[in-house]
Amino acid sequence: MLIIFLTGLVVGILLLGEQPQTLIAPAAEASPEPVKGGVYTEALIGSLMRLNPLLSFHNAPDRDVNRLIFSGLLRFDGKGIAQVDLAEEMGVSMDGTLYNFTLRKNAVWHDGTPVTADDVVFTVNLLREGGGAIPADLQDFWKEVELVKLSDDMLQFRLPEPFAPFPDYLTFGILPRHLLDGQTLEAMIDSPFNLAPIGTGPYRFKNLIVDNGNILGVALEANEDYYGSKPYIEQIVFRYYPDSASALQAYRDGQVQGIGMISPDVLKEALAQPNLGVYTARQPQLSMVMFNLKNQDVPFLQEVKVRKALMIGLNRQLIVDRILQGQAALANGPILPGTWAYYSELRSEPYNPEAARALLKEAGYILAAEGDVVRKNNKDVSLTFTLLHPDDEQHTRVAEYLRSSWAKLGVLVQLEPVPYDVLVRDALEQRDYQAALVDLNLARSPDLEEIYAIVEYIQKLA
């Protein structure tokens, strides 16, 4: 016992002697805190047309700036969930036909005028009678919705029937009635307001950057009266460039600190810049091959095993890596990853050319020795169809890869490039096609029910 005690004492003393070095923790590093101030300059691809949220449907650079200047009743967070914005509270009736909103008491326009329900009513009326400036389907939609002013800061929307995607329609930028009252939206197209806007967003318009009569950029400054969290960056300057290549050169020359969009043609150059961080955001767009199952010239496309063989006979990841330069993700359905409705356990169909050939064999198709025809029921059958695709370089490369991959299964594909508007108007809408490589843009359809409606429409096209 004495030996054990002495041994323990020695070890204890040795450990005690080490304590000053091992128990004194280094001073914790302070987490970086954002500091207010500074100027950030970003390159936008395109040109400034009108800083007016109702007149920017067809010009992405305007929309980028308008989102900072103007606000809507609601906004969507990164997962596609509606959040109050100019509205302080939202209530929905049990049957889903009444939406009540209370506006924020501290919301004011950039000129100091309080925001009222009259501003919302005024903006909705412009959406209803927008002429050529507003998409026709959007005008028709708002004509079916009744808007009632309950008080200066309370509104009620009355729908003819329940419509789950309705919150998506309430993100439009609201315009100031006290500055634009009496003007139609078409008359507003040439209004000076569009070049010196007054909004309610986190940034206010400061000035245009002009050289020899050409608008080169626009400067915004932080709105100290903003009802939400105040911006940290004091000024944001947007400068306009015709393409990503010239914007990237402007970055190299120190004219800008960031670039709004990098196109595929300069992606490799951008990634090679040592101090340029490239961030990728998911674009709400799906690329797909549509098969016309009602076309009697290609009856084999009606067979499930044939379609599945075509699916798993494609190395889709190779398309992403080589043709799209890694700027895409494999889609297993119309619901996009990162949204609240996405099911992460959804099964993906892996690339398996051997299984694809086995499926074709199960369906009765046997690949002949020469590799250009197959046999079914002891008869020569040509698994051949025409694939329409947009006539741009990227879609053409994808289509050529589809053709070469399916040829290895004994399926022969004839490619037919056409302008995209012709593909939609003359082929899809008229159901005059066998297969088509198309893009489905869901930018205006974040709601799950609306996406399902689009998918059902696509199924009807097929």
- Res 209 pLDDT > 50: yes
In angstroms, what CA-CA distances link 346 with 79, 337, 447? 18, 11, 19
> How large is the average pLDDT for residues 142-158?
96
Query: Which residue would you say has higher pLDDT here, 18 or 452?
Result: 452
pLDDT of residue 455: 54
State the DSSP H helix or E strand holding residue 311, giving kind and residue range, or none if neither. helix 304-312
For residue 30, the model assigns a pLDDT of 62
| pLDDT, position 369 | 57
The DSSP H or E segment spanning 238 is strand 235-241
132-143 b/e (C-beta count within 10 Å ≥ 16 → b): ebbeeebbeebe
Can you tell me the distance from the alpha carbon of 61 to that of 341, in angstroms, rounded to the nearest whole number?
A: 29
Q: Flag whether pLDDT at 121 surpasses 90.
A: yes
Q: What angle do CA 235, 240, 242 make, to 5 degrees?
A: 160
pLDDT, tens digit, for every residue of 344-394?
A: 888 888 999 999 999 998 988 877 655 555 667 666 667 899 999 999 999
* pLDDT tier for residue 24 given thresholds of 50, 70 and 90: very low
Q: Do domains 34-50+61-68+201-279 and 285-461 have the same CATH topology?
A: no
Compute the distance between CA of residue 188 and CA of residue 134 in angstroms, rounded to an integer.
Answer: 12
Over the stretch 47-56, which tens digit does the pLDDT of each residue have? Answer: 999 999 999 9
- Distant-in-sequence, close-in-space partners of 389: CB < 8 Å, separation ≥ 6: 395, 396, 398, 399, 415, 416, 417, 418, 423, 436, 437
CATH level 3 topology of 71-190: Dipeptide-binding Protein; domain 1 (3.90.76)
Helix (H, G, I), strand (E, B), or coil: what is residue 448?
Answer: helix
Cβ distance 366 to 376 under 8 Å?
yes
Average pLDDT, the chain: 86
| pLDDT reading at 17 higher than 50 | no
CATH superfamily ID and name for 285-461? Dipeptide-binding Protein; Domain 3 (3.10.105.10)
CA-to-CA distance for 435 and 155, rounded, in angstroms?
Answer: 48
CA 289, distance to chain mean position in Å, is 20
Query: Does the pLDDT of residue 230 top 70, yes or no?
Result: yes
The more confident residue out of 419 and 441 is 419
CATH architecture of 34-50+61-68+201-279: 3-Layer(aba) Sandwich (3.40)
Q: Which of 99, 68, 260 is nearest to 168 (CA)?
A: 99
Strand 384-390 to strand 435-441: parallel, antiparallel, or no bridges (unpaired)?
parallel
Q: What is the C-alpha to C-alpha distance for residues 405 and 221, in angstroms, rounded to an integer?
A: 53
Q: What is the pLDDT of residues 268-306, one digit of tens each?
A: 899 888 888 888 877 778 899 999 999 999 999 999 999
What value does the mean pLDDT take over residues 175-181?
A: 96
Q: Which long-range contacts (CB under 8 A, 24 or more apart) does 7-14 make?
A: none
Supply the pLDDT for residue 18: 34
Given this model, what pLDDT does residue 447 score?
Answer: 52
Class of residue 46 by CB neighbours under 10 A (exposed 0-12, middle 13-18, buried 19+): middle
pLDDT at 23 over 70: no
Write the pLDDT tens digit of every residue in 370-382.
Answer: 555 566 766 666 7
Whole-number Å distance between alpha carbons of 373 and 284? 39
Asked whether residue 3 carries a pLDDT value surpassing 50, the answer given is: no
For residue 450, pLDDT beyond 60: no
Sign of CA dihedral 7, 8, 13, 16: positive
Q: Which pair of tokens denotes residue 119?
A: 């501003």
Q: Is 116 helix (H, G, I), strand (E, B) or coil?
A: coil
Q: Would you state the pLDDT for residue 20?
A: 36
pLDDT at 176 exceeding the cut of 50: yes
- Model pLDDT, residue 4: 35
The pLDDT of residue 364 is: 86
Q: Give me 12's structure tokens.
A: 């204890």
Collapsed DSSP state (helix, strand, coil) of residue 69:
helix
Instruction: Give the per-residue pLDDT at 87.
Output: 96
Which pLDDT band holds residue 32 (cuts at 50, 70, 90)? confident
Contacts with 75 (C-beta within 8 Å, 6 or more apart), sequence order: 82, 83, 85, 171
Domain extents in the chain: 34-50+61-68+201-279, 71-190, 285-461
DSSP string, 119-184: HHHHHHHHHHT-GGGS-HHHHHHHHTSEEEEEETTEEEEE-SS--TTGGGGG-SPPPPHHHHTT--
pTM of the entire structure? 0.74
